Chains A and B, each alone.
Chain A
Amino acid sequence: MGEAIVVTSGKGGVGKTTSTANIGTALALLGKKVCLVDTDIGLRNLDVVMGLDNRIIFDIVDIATGNCRIEQALIKDKRFDQLYMIAAAQTKDKLALSTSAMQAIVHKLKMDFDYVLIDCPAGIEHGFRVAITGADQAIVVTTPEQAAVRDADRVIGLLEAEKIPPAKLIINRIRPHMVKNGEMLDIDDIISVLSLDLLGIVPDDEQVIKNANQGEPTVVKPDSKASQAYRNIARRIIGDPVPLMNLQEQSGFFKRMKKMMGLG
């Protein structure tokens, strides 16, 4: 029996889909059998980030309505044999998927996969409620911005109310030089507000945007900093005690910045 993990944030645009794609791919890299599920019905884009948009035949609403079997809607990744995804429907709206249907789908997927990663839509309405049902764990993604942290806090409260075990936190798009200058929220500040365990921090990396546009998750390119961050997160998920990248990553980054400025 696998584990279902929902990736959520409350606020839109903080990197839920990018994180889902990258963590899923990183888990597949570690030899796990992974299924990514896009629940952002009407605004699907996990398939685009994964570069699988041209392979969609059936989607999650087709499974829910009985149009097809789960196996038919599973899209196999073009890079990894162990990686699959289920796309969201683009022409329906959020109400097309009920919590009970979602629960049944997730339960069935958990039988076949080690990890089921659920990409949650932004917001806290029906789509959010559907995405979190059936999840055993939650990952909350936030960025070092007040608005994102506040939305994350709201979502954590809702997850607690749904009796989902304490979520793990990913702080995305950190710009170390801005944090250093006090222009961006500090990691410790964010953790002190949200009081969650930190699963990882991901530096802001232009490579991520470039790769997402090419339909290629960043983790497949081992050279970028963000790629390393996502690989570490995946290792922590499978229980590997990767030393807390928090400080290490930061110091590494600072060193690089200093070198760039000729100080190192």
Chain B
Amino acid sequence: MLTNTALEPAGQDYVTIKGIKNGLVFKLADDVHFDKVLDALTAKLGNGSSPFSSGAKVTAFVDYGNRVLTPEIQDAVEKAFLAVGEIQVKVYQESMVEDEPVPHKLLPKAPYVYKGTVRSGQMVEHDGDVIIIGNVNPGAHIVASGDIYVFGRLRGYVHAGASGNVRAIVAAAYFEPIQVRIATVIRRSPEAYAHPAEMEFAHLEGDQMAVEKMSFLQHFQTLIMSDKAVI
């Protein structure tokens, strides 16, 4: 018993397991003979508490450290995993353990400014606010995760808050879009609509879309701020 417990930690040190988002990383020591590492790995996988014993499908990323990777070594490792079950074995690369993407609202993105006419069939897509200095023609698409501002005639399809931001707005000097989407709410332009000679913007009130004169924007944003305080 004593000898066993004394030996085991040393052997287990050769293989460390770490969980990442899309699987498990098996870090194999690169400063001892490979046979020892392989034994340690086999022991760990054969162990009843192995992460694969539950039967869950997990991808194994093997980190060989500085060890020179020969086909024999790779083969032996893969075999050790296959002895346990149908496990997908991949060579570990730094990029696989990137941090979880931070929700974009925490990162204010620079607005994208497009100068010129956006024509039918053309698409402007940006993660953040989009500013168009020019016309958006029928058949053109603008998609933004933030707000959309058109300094010209808006006659195309626009989708603000495309990644779910219900507070996004669509504003245009001449507001005549074919279709407006904010987050998941879709609105067609009314067939007959008397356009005031003033810049307008569309925003959401619950699941309804409203179009207001630009002078209302400040009030709208104050409402949003108070809304935020409640949340």
> Which A positions have Cβ atoms within 8 angstroms of B?
146, 150-151, 153-154, 156-158, 160, 192-195
Contacts and interface: CB of A to CB of B under 8 A. Distances in A.
Nearest to B155: A193
B51 interface: no
Report which residue of A151, A154, A160 has the largest number of chain B beta carbons within 10 angstroms of its beta carbon: A154
A153 B117 CA distance: 10
Nearest to B137: A153
Interface in B1-50: none
A127 B192 CA distance: 39
Interface in B179-193: none
B138 A157 contact: no
B145 interface: no
B153 A153 contact: no
25 contacts: A146-B138, A150-B120, A150-B138, A150-B139, A151-B120, A153-B119, A153-B120, A153-B137, A153-B138, A153-B139, A154-B119, A154-B120, A154-B139, A157-B121, A157-B122, A158-B121, A160-B119, A192-B135, A193-B135, A193-B137, A193-B138, A193-B155, A194-B137, A195-B117, A195-B135
Interface residues of B, number: 11
A80 B122 CA distance: 43
A157 B153 contact: no
Contacts of A160: 119
Interface string B93-135: 0000000000000000000000001011110000000000001
Report which residue of A151, A153, A158, A194 has the largest number of chain B beta carbons within 10 angstroms of its beta carbon: A153
Nearest to A151: B120
A194 B135 CA distance: 10
A258 to B, nearest CB: 31
Nearest to B139: A150
Given A193-B137, A193-B138, A195-B135, A156 B153 contact: no
Contacts of B137: 150, 153, 193-194
Nearest to B118: A157
Contacts of B117: 195
Contacts of B155: 193
Contacts of A146: 138
Contacts of A192: 135, 153
Nearest to A159: B119
The 4 closest A-B pairs by CB, nearest first: A157-B119, A153-B120, A154-B120, A154-B121
Contacts of B139: 150, 153-154
Contacts of A150: 120, 137-139
Contacts of B135: 192-193, 195
Given A157-B121, A193-B138, 13 more contacts: A150-B120, A150-B137, A150-B139, A151-B120, A153-B120, A153-B121, A153-B137, A153-B138, A154-B120, A158-B121, A192-B153, A193-B135, A195-B135
